[in-house]
Chain A
Amino acid sequence: MYVNNEKPDINGESDLCARIIPCLDVAYGRVVKGTNFKELVDMGDPVQLAQMYEQQGADELVFLDIKASVDGQQSALDMVYQVATHLSIPFAVGGGIKALEDVHRFFHAGADKVTLNTMAVEQPELINQIATQYGSQSIVVAVDVNQEVDGSLAIYTHGGSKLAPVDYHSWIEEIVDRGAGEILLTAMHKDGTGSGFDTDLLAQFGAGFPVQVIASGGAKGPQDFLAAVHAGADAVLAAGLFHRGEYTVGEVKAYLINNNIKIRNTEC
């Protein structure tokens, strides 16, 4: 669907571009990098980093507040307001959302979307509530999936630390039925390995799948983004390779454009 000049697929013509989404971990209103659960390295001011990625050509940003549950939400809400008043591309916020009231606060502060992970599993009704009140486009459900030793796929919550009591396939179906607008699919077995996205997994979400899928986990270079889009991803999310400065968003996008993928070109 995102390859230029290809024959229209079963869904007809589409001008939609594949999206490139940098993800920023935040804590106490600062962008951080976690080396383990205790040590957090300060990476800088969220607004400055967000603007830098916008200038590089990011199509959207995701902020994950990894400490929201500890600190309450005020620092996250202040950050969302600052980002919303300085950014002119959309952004999603996740971390520490427990109830519809939290969602309301984030939207009121200026977020375009929220992402749910643990609470989606523990309280799936929240997906319906958000979709009903704010529309499907406002909710992204983050699915952390791990390929277990026996080769089966399992869902995890709590930042990947807890096996969830749900079946992978029925959980994906349930998320869609409940009204999620997008699925952020993180392959835990690929995350941080630099061995590329799980293209077999992404291939399960082709043109016939009813919502967009954001691929996450495993990016090492631009060719991995290309493979993810070819496999079926609608958007590709990455953190490390952008934050470490190995590639700019613009470099990744230029590579995809050169490989005939529909991408929002911000270079001209």
Chain B
Amino acid sequence: MSLALNNTRASQVAVIDLNSGNLLSLETAIKTAGFSLTTVKKPNDDLLTTCDVLVMPGQGRFAYVMQQINDTGWREFLQEWVRNGKRLVGICVGMQVLFEGSEEDPETNGLGLFKGRCQKLSHPKTPMVGWAKLDSYKLTMKDQYAYFVNSYAISECHFGTSKVNYGSSFCAAVQRGNLYGFQFHPEKSGSFGRELIKHVCQ
């Protein structure tokens, strides 16, 4: 009985606050999905034992988000976190920094957890703002509509799990094991987004 309870314990989710934009919608979505939530500005080793899922949203420039990550000690911590097979979810620029770099700030090194670099969208109307239908083989995303706000994106990735066209094709989502990235905003993507948050946090 206690084992069954253990198995159904709600995941402990922590949102990384990189001081880049409002976390209210994301926090609301995670709480509404039934998870226990904390918001963390700096890494601490307790997280490795107390927390199941780290969610890293990011808004603004690639270099700014990376600087926040480096200055607060997240770079080493996240690498350790991923080495331990723990779950990490990057959203928007939070997904982009999982890669090696970006055309937006070519001098800045990303976390390098995925191979590849971000490129500027080839469509002249940027930022891309609005909804697009995902081309995905994953049942959680197949033919769903997601809300995008971005000017840069990963055009090719071996671990891409969904893609969309905007001028040319780019990766809307990536996944390798417990490492997830979403270029769109699940917290702004209606009921689909809420379900997706539930799926990746549980």
Q: Which residues of A contact B (CB under 8 A)?
A: 11-17, 19, 54, 59, 81, 84-85, 88-90, 107-110, 112, 134-137, 181-182, 208-212, 234-235, 262, 264-266
Contacts and interface: CB of A to CB of B under 8 A. Distances in A.
Contacts of A182: 129
B79 interface: no
A14 B167 contact: yes
B165 interface: yes
Nearest to A13: B165
Contact of A85 (B24, B125, B126, B166): B24
A12 B126 CA distance: 14
Contacts of A107: 21-22
B169 A89 contact: no
Given A16-B128, A209-B125, A234-B125, A110 B22 contact: yes
Contact of A212 (B22, B129, B167): B129
A208 B131 contact: no
The interface residues of chain B, by DSSP majority, are classed as mixed
A264 B145 contact: yes
B122 A12 contact: yes
Contacts of B169: 13
29 contacts: A11-B167, A13-B168, A13-B169, A14-B123, A15-B133, A15-B166, A17-B130, A17-B145, A84-B24, A85-B28, A88-B25, A88-B29, A88-B193, A88-B194, A89-B188, A89-B189, A90-B188, A107-B21, A107-B22, A108-B22, A110-B24, A112-B188, A134-B60, A136-B127, A137-B129, A181-B127, A211-B125, A264-B131, A265-B145
B40 to A, nearest CB: 19
Contacts of A16: 128, 130-132, 148, 166
A38 B181 CA distance: 51
B200 to A, nearest CB: 16
A85 B149 CA distance: 20
Given A108-B22, A135-B59, A235-B130, 6 more contacts: A11-B125, A15-B166, A88-B25, A88-B191, A89-B147, A212-B130
A17 B166 CA distance: 11
Category for how many chain B residues contact A: 35 or more
A59 B130 contact: yes
A13 B167 contact: yes
B130 A88 contact: no
A158 B132 CA distance: 35
Contacts of B149: 137
B123 A88 contact: no
A190 to B, nearest CB: 24
A262 B165 CA distance: 13
Interface string B18-40: 00011011001100000000000
Contacts of A12: 122-123, 165, 167-168
Nearest to A1: B125
Which of B22, B133, B187 has the most C-beta atoms of chain A within 10 angstroms of its own C-beta? B22
Contacts of A84: 24-25, 28
A109 B22 CA distance: 8
Per CB-CB distance, the 8 closest pairs between chain A and chain B, nearest first, are A13-B165, A15-B132, A264-B145, A264-B131, A110-B24, A137-B127, A12-B167, A15-B164
Contacts of B129: 137, 181-182, 212
A195 to B, nearest CB: 27
B168 A90 contact: no
Interface in B1-49: 21-22, 24-25, 28-29
